[in-house]
Amino acid sequence: MRSLVVRSIVLVALLIPTGLVAQSFPTDNPILKAIWDEGMNRSQVYDLSQTLNDSLGPRLTGSPNLAGAADWVIQSYEQWGIPARTEQYGTWPGWRRGTSHVDLIQPRVRSLNGVLLAWSPGTPDGRAVEAQVVTLPDFPNADAFTSWLPEVEGKFVAISFPQPTCRPDGAWQEYAGTDPMAQMRARFGGGGGTPATPYTRMRDARQAADSAWRARIAKTGLNARTLPAAIGEAGAAGILTSEWPNGYGATRIFQGRTNDAPTFSLSCEDYGLVARLAENNQGPVLRAQADAEFLGDYPAINTVGQITGNEKPDEYVVLSAHFDTWDGSSGATDNGTGTIIMMEAMRILKAVYANPKRTIVAGHWNSEEQGLNGSSAFATDHPEVIAGAQAVFNQDNGTGLISSLSTMGLLGQSEFLGRWVGQLPDNLTRNLRVQLTGSPSRGGSDHASFICHGAPAFGLGSDSWDYFSYTWHTDLDTFDKVVIENVRQNAVLTAMLAYLAAEDPETMPRDQRVLPPNRRTGEPGQWPTCRDGARTGPGGE
């Protein structure tokens, strides 16, 4: 009974119709008021986000999950009366994740927090494998590494740096305090400079150890990307990795880099445990099981919704967010939140602004995580959209309120942004920073696929909410991290910007600023060069 009460309290907190609170507008524009009313009082953000993240789950490029989620997006748009489609732009190695489990069975028993990496083979026939763990030795040179390789046959090999502490830096800074003796020496002599603290000593020691581990890998003659393939080819039972983002309990989870051995990512704490046992000759043995299947070439698709303009159908406002995710978790804030913002904005616009002047397109891009491939391919395949783009609005950095907007190096846009933002209610703009002039994005997210062509593209930057420490590409990027109120407000803001851009009687100019010199070479700044999206590929980071 108590769980139902708690859930009810949570739902009430998330679903309070804040639009009922009196909201003043700088203008009497009835469409803007209708967008606010529809988005704040009849929001579908909670239901859409819960379904996408909990039920449909992660959307790895080349996976059945992504294809199924794309079908759901199309069905949602069709229910709202919005035509939608998928566009295949190439193929990608298909891969299906099954169950996986890792246990320490010697010198003691512990179930480990671990998961098979994407595009990694499973254990033979999906059966459990028991094997000893070894860490990568510190070789004098590449020949010594080559001589050692046959010894990995039938063993798990730990190849990542084992963190000496999995407490975040902020905790050390807050609780470790200062070294009283160091302070005394600094005050009365016997030692100059800034007094050392337990935190700085730990930080410096960790940095030194990390550098030493990187040197250890370099002495193999390989690097972090090529080392797994050599170990897999040598017959290892499996490979162990760990990438810690300096947040409690978080682990970054990417992909395996060999088709010859299953690669497991372990949490910071559990990887450190196993590595210490191996380094201290205490005989760690793991039992691991993983089910996975390679599916051959799999369609690489973008999913597109469109409301066609009635006066200028060949001019476009593009709502942009990547749809693919890594699959260590649900991909809730990277980029489920961006996906829901654009879906909800389209739903709102269809409800209150069904006949826009310009065509409004929502692009849900594939393979952003492998290099902006879906959006780059769309830009290549649709020169008419590039030529007719009035504005592209892209969101891709988490669940925080949208708080920044940049003109990306195009001159003359400040007049348009000022005109549009000036019509928005204070609730949406009081913390919004607009960077005038700016510089064109060269990567990072999908607006770069449009600005390189000179199309007016804007990144809708959000407040942090510890994005890079806790949810970006981690196992913690789950539905509970979504701040529903923020996403609801962001969808309303995006819908209003799309409406104003679609209705503006003038066309956005594309004059480019003179870019500052390259700080590294001193050469004149150059506008970023466009590239076609990869139409096939093995996966990447």
Q: Please count the residues of the chain.
A: 541
Q: Quick one: 281 and 254 in the same domain?
A: yes
Burial class (CB in 10 A: 0-12, 13-18, 19+), 529: exposed
Task: Tell me if 216 is assigned to some domain.
Answer: yes
Tell me the pLDDT band of 196, cut-offs 50, 70 and 90.
confident
Tell me the pLDDT band of 176, cut-offs 50, 70 and 90.
confident
Q: What angle do CA 366, 371, 377 make, to 5 degrees?
A: 55
- Taking only the tens place, the pLDDT of each residue in 343-355 is 999 999 999 999 9
Residue 350 near residue 330 (C-beta atoms within 8 A)? no
Task: Tell me if 20 is assigned to some domain.
Answer: no
Which residue, 147, 117, 114, is CA-closest to 133? Answer: 114
Q: Quick one: 164 and 71 in the same domain?
A: no
Q: Quick one: 351 and 208 in the same domain?
A: no
- Cα dihedral sign for 83, 88, 92, 94? positive
Print the domain residue range for 64.
Answer: 25-83+308-503
Those residues whose C-beta lies under 8 Å from the C-beta of residue 34, and which sit 6 or more positions away, are 352, 353
Portion of the chain with pLDDT greater than 70, in percent: 92
What's the pTM value of the predicted model, to 2 decimals?
A: 0.93
Tokens linked to 217: 């890998």
Tokens linked to 29: 């524009």
Number of domains in the chain: 2
CATH number of the domain encompassing residue 395? 3.40.630.10
Q: What angle do CA 217, 221, 225 make, to 5 degrees?
A: 60
Alpha-carbon gap, residue 201 to 205, rounded angstroms: 6
Alpha-carbon gap, residue 331 to 478, rounded angstroms: 6
Say which amino acid occupies 404.
S
Q: Quick one: 134 and 272 in the same domain?
A: yes
Q: Quick one: 111 and 165 in the same domain?
A: yes
- Taking only the tens place, the pLDDT of each residue in 230-251 is 999 999 999 999 999 999 999 9
- Taking only the tens place, the pLDDT of each residue in 513-528 is 999 998 888 999 999 9
Given a cut of 50, whether residue 483 has pLDDT beyond it is: yes
Tokens linked to 104: 């320490």
- Cα dihedral sign for 97, 98, 99, 102? negative
Q: Quick one: 56 and 34 in the same domain?
A: yes
Tokens linked to 41: 């009082």
For residue 355, how far is the Cα from the chain centroid? 34
Instruction: Look at residue 268 and give its three-state secondary structure.
Output: helix
CATH number of the domain encompassing residue 122? 3.50.30.30
Task: Tell me if 2 is assigned to some domain.
Answer: no
